[in-house]
Structure 1
Amino acid sequence: MPPGTHILILGGTAEARRLAAALTARPGLRVTTSLAGRVTSPRLPPGELRVGGFGGPGGLGAWLREHRVAAVVDATHPFATAISAGAAEAAGATGVPLYALRRPGWSAGPGDLWHEAHSLADAAALLPALGRRVFLTTGRLGLAAFAHLDGLSFLVRSVEPPEPPLPRHTVTVTARGPFTVEGERELLRRHRVDVLVTKDSGGSATVAKLTAAREAGLPVVVVRRPPAPAGVPTAEDVPGVLALLSRAAADRCP
């Protein structure tokens, strides 16, 4: 990539921070990471930083033109569907190349008792038949899908305090990964959890809960990822994204 190339990273994940570090280590590149601003004390990446929304795809497109962005990398959470869709629309309108960084999802292994759901509402519908004490690790948003389950008790863990409405019988824990298997075992035991609910976030920071649930023989409701926008070149790790960017830069050279 030639000196002066401006790359925008739509961030908020560990992979986004690692990508920013890799790109800022290359001389002459300008790297800006955009954060949604939903976390009070986020882990900040190297390079330039922008916090807050763009005002929709039109606002993002205007920002790309104004700041002469040469490429956008969508390294947001796999469930940040609105941001990903908006980035695809803005890239299509401006002609700025868009790439996606998506860590692989989790897969069930021997001994796992997984039940797949395609939404939080689907997950809530499965719970009454699976357990009474629920460890809910789907983040602080969208908990209204479980609010009607008065007969169940919930342990809700999220980085920031969850937003209401919440289930009537809820204990909240604010914590940020990575988590250890030993710590997750103790949490399950202390709260007498008998079913786990998680999004298929992938990665290693929060996978320990799945190991602890397997060891305890607990059922796990896994909310599968929504599909990514079609036609966006995607890599599973930082080296893969760097290869995509380098290949695109080489193709643009005469």
Structure 2
Amino acid sequence: MTLLQMKDVSMRFGDVQALKKVSLDVSRGEFVALVGPNGSGKTTLLRAMHGLLRHGGTRELGADAGRQAMVFQRPFVMRLSVRNNLRLALWLAGVPRDQWDERNAAALQRVALQGLEQRPARALSGGQQQRLALARAWAVQPALLFLDEPTASLDPTAKREVEALLAGFAADGMTLVMSTHNLGQAKRLASRVVYLEDGEIHADLPTAQFFNGRLQGRAQQFLKGEMAWTIE
């Protein structure tokens, strides 16, 4: 079932054509990784998919697309306690107040932050703040979760923790779309990989096919390490 359809999406920032007639569908239960070199359009496409940017072309949501959430590379946390950061997200999402405590507790347990409810969110480590951002997103039970390089600023331990959470979300049936520079991460987590360059999609394949030599041209160069990327 299609949750999101982008058709002929174009976007320009001044003299830069960030996206060029990009068409992309996302179906329920997929974990889509957007990869490509710097400036390829990954983040722009991700934000357009979430409805944060005006663009040419069309963006259509399926009947079951429902609520959406997005987690950024550097999570923004309010000058509030961990608990109240979560409560604010639930309020903004229109979740009934009588569900807040239950969802709050479940979300903190899911990301292993239980016991830190009263701690100022900005006193958390970088990895803990990213897990809090994931808890806020998970708590509102989104049909679509967008992630913009969610582990790029984290140390290896925190990165593994976040990857484990994302793998768990996907296993539970959540639909995720993630931009990443880390091809190893895309290979570990995604069910499908979309390669962008210069604002265009050059490959869109199931993960196994993407990494098993079925690419051509510059997409193959990228995969072989002849262009800038990170793999771990």
Common fold, TM-score beyond 0.5? no
TM-score in terms of structure 1 length: 0.25
TM-score in terms of structure 2 length: 0.27
Identify the structure with the greater strand proportion: 2
Bigger radius of gyration: 1
Larger RCO: 1 or 2 (CA < 8 Å, sep 6+) = 2
